[in-house]
A = this chain, B = another copy of it.
Amino acid sequence: MSSFDSPLSPGRRRLLLAVAFAVAGVAAFASDLMPAPASLKTAPGRLAVTPGFLVALRGPAEPRLQDALFRLLRTVEDRTGLTFPHTPAGGFALAAGAAPAALVIDCGAAGPAVPVLGEDESYTLEVTETQAVLHAPTTTGGLRGLATLQQLLQADAAGWFLPAVSIDDHPRFPWRGLLIDVCRHWQPMAVIKRNLDGMALVKLNVLHLHLTENQGFRIESRKFPRLHELGSDGHYFTQDEMREIIAYAAARGIRVVPEFDIPGHATAWVVGYPELASAPGPYVIERAWGVFDPVLDPTNPQVYELLDGFLGEMAALFPDPYIHIGGDENNGVQWNANPRIQAYIREHNLKDNAGLHAYFNTRVHAILAKYGKQLIGWDEILHPDLPAGSVIHSWRGPDGIAAATQRGFATVLSNGYYIDLNHPAWEHYLNDPVPAGSPLTVEQQKLVLGGEATMWAEWVTPETIDSRIWPRTAAIAERLWSPREVRDVPDMYRRLAVVSRRLEEAGLQQESYLEPALRRLAGDGASAADRQALRAFVDLLEPVKDYQRGHHQPAANQFTPLTGLVDCARPDSAPARAFAAQVQAWVFAATPAAQDLDLIARQLAAWRQTADVLGQGLTVTAPRLQEAAPLVHALAEASAVGREATQLLASGRTPDAGWLAAQLARLDQAAQARAAVELPVIAPLRLLVAAAAAQSERKTLSADAWRQHLLELAKVPAKP
């Protein structure tokens, strides 16, 4: 999947934001939990967590539950420094018999050892001053409750504790996934495992592994070894490794759904088996990014022989009932150019390429059915001939969901959850699979199984991938787990910062990858002041959005090092968000305070200082930071514009007539993306200069009219 419509139009964004801001400040939950539980009641009091903390495990013996409990206790030990009672054999001591336990875990049926779609994931958690009790009808529910406990642990000057709460929780959608593309850039075992740990923490339950692509075939086939041997550069999961991943996921209540993308996206398939393509070979692994021609030939019986053998092998390897067959973005070039294929379409009354694709899917469906598997594929597989029971994975938009469910197909939503495109968390957060006022019928709504965040891997390596997935995916996890009404953006961001710490604790590196990456970028000659300025600067940057990076780096391919400035910039800059909030609060305030304006001015001065340090230092001396020079200049320029505005605002003096237009033009210039990054802190300055230009009118207008006037003068949507 490579093309993508922005998930929300600017107009819709503004609307949704207005809704979000209307409830701002009214925190729906006092807790930090993410995803927010279906029901949470807080009470005064706390349960102290001390070295004597003992757990009682009731209900049927379930290794998955005990293992998860032990992992949790170990995590808590590492966080708190407490050592809980251990047995000489190495595990944790459990409360035996009627011994008093600080935590009682009581799960009903053990449930299936490998998680399945739609299983009961509910749990209740009662914490009082004397005891915490976790109840769940299934092991999986118990795992979800343990994830809540991990987030619930708090500290203050008096020590560690669980706050008194009463939680009754269950998910809104049964399919809550993260897709990881391990093809375009290989992602080894360690990446997958730490991301599974992160998923478990935020109650995601489907790992969708995109295993085949033009740029790599990443799973061992014992029946057709040329697939992985010639299609992978040696970077693939052995079947033993995949079993290890599946077990690791199952232990955390997570399904693994494999994707084998056919008939398009198939270059790596046909490197070893060129005779299966729709045009003559030979083929080599694709190194560039985009949509490519190679596609399997649906008229070739050998294709079905290979698919029967291969999918049979995979059906035995992957326990999940669903196998994803991709099906997206066949550009038709090879089919159109092949007279034999076009003749086949005519002879079999298949009408067109879409008909041929549907025919192919019907054959693949039959193969999967033979092996007891159900088919899931991207939007493009939707066709009148698509066999019932298939699932549509929607990447192209809400229309896809409507069309699929209208025909009775279950769907999973990824449109709006393309985390590789570097949009801010709030956009994904407010993207509801079944929003309030949805035009879908109740029956259609029931067919919406949930959604998946998609981590396409053109621009990520094992070093940077966590910073593109997390913490934003936790906001998507909340959207898919929590009630529809939980949609307070500021509160989401508050909790996202906390859960980001827990995700790091789980081994993810979205924060910690940065320091060494910046040291490498700055080079050996950098001083501590240089590095401090670089960190402050990079925290203000965001990678360009959507598919712009390819325009900035047109020659980039699979070999290009991803260790540059843009790889250190992270989506959804927190300091930029904070500055925007600061500026908006001031310009829209009923009675703006002088000291708040002063804080804004100080922030601008600090940026100026950062720009000066870098402009005279690393952007000259460090070869890798020379491309940052215009960005550093832009930050200095933006600071200067902002300074003029704050000075005017502080003095009450109205500027000359041309001033506003001139400043907006300077900001336009400064806001241009360069080196594949952009400076989101520049946007809120438009409001500030508008406020300075119009300040004489402020007293004369109502709050609403003033706001409207400013937005028009500044020519910005009211982005947070």
- Chain A contacts to B: CB under 8 angstroms: 32, 77-83, 86, 88-90, 155-157, 159-160, 190, 233, 284-285, 287, 498, 501, 504-505, 511-512, 515-516, 519-520, 523-525, 559-561, 563-564, 620-624
Contact = CB atoms under 8 A, between A and B. Distances in A.
Contacts of A160: 623
Given A81-B564, A285-B90, A511-B516, A620 B157 contact: yes
| 6 shortest interchain CB distances as A-B pairs | A90-B233, A77-B561, A512-B516, A88-B284, A86-B559, A78-B563
Copies in the complex: 2
Contact of A519 (B156, B157, B504): B504
A519 B157 CA distance: 17
Contacts of A80: 561, 623-624
Contacts of A623: 80-81, 155-157, 159-160
Nearest to A565: B81
A158 to B, nearest CB: 8
A516 B514 CA distance: 11
B561 A81 contact: yes
Contacts of A561: 77-78, 80-83
A86 to B, nearest CB: 5
Contacts of A498: 524
A81 B190 contact: no
A88 B504 contact: no
B559 A156 contact: no
Contacts of A505: 520
Given A81-B564, A83-B561, A284 B89 contact: yes
Contacts of A159: 623
B621 A157 contact: yes
Given A155-B623, A621-B156, A504 B516 contact: yes
A160 B520 CA distance: 13
Contacts of A233: 90
B515 A501 contact: no
A559 B501 CA distance: 24
A511 B513 CA distance: 11
Contacts of A88: 284-285, 287
Given A512-B515, A515-B515, A623-B159, A520 B79 contact: yes
Contacts of A516: 504, 511-512
A300 B501 CA distance: 55
A159 B81 CA distance: 47
B563 A81 contact: yes
A504 B519 CA distance: 10
Contacts of A81: 561, 563-564, 623-624
A595 B78 CA distance: 46
Contacts of A622: 155
B524 A560 contact: no
A87 to B, nearest CB: 9
A127 B304 CA distance: 58
Contacts of A512: 512, 515-516
Contacts of A525: 155-156
A524 B33 CA distance: 13
A523 B155 contact: yes
B560 A83 contact: yes
A89 B78 CA distance: 45
Nearest to A287: B88
Contacts of A560: 83
17 contacts: A77-B561, A79-B563, A81-B561, A81-B563, A81-B564, A83-B559, A83-B560, A83-B561, A86-B287, A88-B284, A88-B287, A89-B285, A155-B525, A156-B623, A498-B524, A504-B519, A515-B515
A458 B436 CA distance: 58
A90 B558 CA distance: 9
A718 B560 CA distance: 51
Contacts of A287: 86, 88
A681 to B, nearest CB: 17
A80 to B, nearest CB: 7
Given A80-B624, A160-B623, 7 more contacts: A80-B561, A80-B623, A86-B559, A88-B284, A157-B623, A501-B519, A512-B515
Contacts of A519: 501, 504, 511
Nearest to A563: B78
Contacts of A515: 511-512, 515
A216 to B, nearest CB: 10
Contacts of A157: 620-621, 623
